[in-house]
Amino acid sequence: MAHVVLRNITKRFGQVVAVDNLCLEIPRGQCISLLGPSGCGKTTTLRMLAGFEDLDEGEILVGDRVISSSLKRYYLPPEKRDFGMVFQAFAVWPHLSVFDNVAFPLQIRGLGRAEIREKTTTALTYTGLLDVRDSYPNELSGGQKQRIALARSISFNPTVMLLDEPLSNLDPKMREVMRFEIKELQKRFNFTIIYVTHDQAEAMALSDRIVVMDYGAKVQQDDTPLNVYHRPANKFVFGFIGLSNFLQVEAADGGTYLAGAREAGPIGGERPPQALGATPTLACRPGEIELLRDGGVRGLIARRTLLGDIVDYRVRVGAQEVRVQRSVRQPLFEEGAACGLRFTRLHWYA
């Protein structure tokens, strides 16, 4: 049974439709990511869930309880929703110690001293903050500050956790560590996570389910991380997740060629579906193209960049440039050298 339900929600800011008739059902204990470019409406959606924004249309339910409804003009205030929430900016009280920060929601709820101590200690333990419980936030790193925010939001055992780009202000290493920690916390406490991010790696690593959105919070694909990556529903999703090439092709003599580069040779592999018309777009990942000495679609290495483990090539074929990424352990090609491209996986879009 769905735990959180968004039913046809719409939000306008003046002329701009920030969220356009969005429907989502989120089962209990699921970690769902709302992924999309900045300004696509994902944060607005989260803020409506939190109760910071009213709805222009639609309603939001938790369990069978309506918490926001445009029709009934009913909005449960954020302080009554019992949601945990972590913000991108570190929302920690500078005037309180780590312990008092984490105890804050419990004190607000008027719990007894012993219970506050116990629950706070539990939250501190699971977030690895027990040793710094007497420190003040300004003595701690960004990662630690965000841990405080996390500990505070779990201290009162919420069933729904809203995360608004919580790792975006952290350095890349800390970001990876925290991903695992959030995942661990979820396993332990089994809350439903709604995670807003524009970072696809983060969404991939954390979620059971990814909702890719375009402007207006229009859902482009709602699927498992694996499917979103390997079976993108459309060009937008393909372009948004991971690296991508979009290439123009043309058909001739029963073969498919890169547009204007028939002399380079046919692409081979599966033909574009007829339904896509005369000029379909070929989408492919830079990692799904092999570089050959002989054969394949002939091109010239225009640029080569070493990215540590990976070598990034820009290969010129006719008027188009194809991005290819190979492992450093494979034969290297020099800039200006001739090469052949073999496309191992093709995605066709209109």
Partner 1 sequence: MSSQSGRIGKARRRWAQTLRPYAYILPTFVFLFIFTHWPILRTFYVSFFKWNMASPTMEFVGAANYVQAWKTPLFWQVLGNNLLFAAGTVPLTLAVALALALLINQKIRGLALYRALLFYPTMIPMAAAAMIWLWILTPNYGLLNYYGKWLGLPDVHWLGHSTLALWALVLVGVWKRVGYYMVIYLAGLQVIPEHLYEAARIEGAGPWQRFWKVTFPLVSPTTFFVGVMAVIDAFQAIDQVYLMTGGGPGNATNLFIFYIYQNAFRFFDFGYGSAISAILFLILLALTLLAFRTLHRKVHYA
Binding interface with partner 1 (CB under 8 A) = 50-52, 77-85, 87, 89, 91, 93-95, 104-105, 108-109, 149, 152-153, 156, 162
Q: Which residues pair with 222 in a beta bridge?
A: 211
CB nearer partner 1, residue 12 or residue 80: 80
Phi, psi of 41 (to 5 degrees): 105, 0
* Sheet arrangement for strand 16-27: 16-27, 2-13, 57-62, 65-69, 74-75
Name the minimum Å distance from CB 102 to partner 1: 10
Name the minimum Å distance from CB 94 to partner 1: 5
User: Distance between CA atoms of 46 and 97, rounded to whole angstroms?
Assistant: 29
* Rg, Å, the chain Cα set: 25
CB nearer partner 1, residue 94 or residue 336: 94
Q: What is the DSSP string of 155-187?
A: TT--SEEEEESTTTTS-HHHHHHHHHHHHHHHH
Name the minimum Å distance from CB 110 to partner 1: 10
CB nearer partner 1, residue 169 or residue 227: 169
User: Distance between CA atoms of 98 and 65, rounded to whole angstroms?
Assistant: 34
- Asked if residue 102 lies in contact with residue 120, where contact means CB atoms within 8 angstroms, the answer is yes
Contacts of 95 (CB under 8 A, 6+ apart): none
CB nearer partner 1, residue 31 or residue 86: 86
CB nearer partner 1, residue 93 or residue 215: 93
Name the minimum Å distance from CB 30 to partner 1: 20
Name the minimum Å distance from CB 322 to partner 1: 43
User: Distance between CA atoms of 313 and 290, rounded to whole angstroms?
Assistant: 11
CB nearer partner 1, residue 119 or residue 209: 119
Name the minimum Å distance from CB 140 to partner 1: 15
Q: Which residues pair with 303 in a beta bridge?
A: 314
User: Distance between CA atoms of 64 and 78, rounded to whole angstroms?
Assistant: 18
Name the minimum Å distance from CB 323 to partner 1: 38
CB nearer partner 1, residue 20 or residue 164: 164
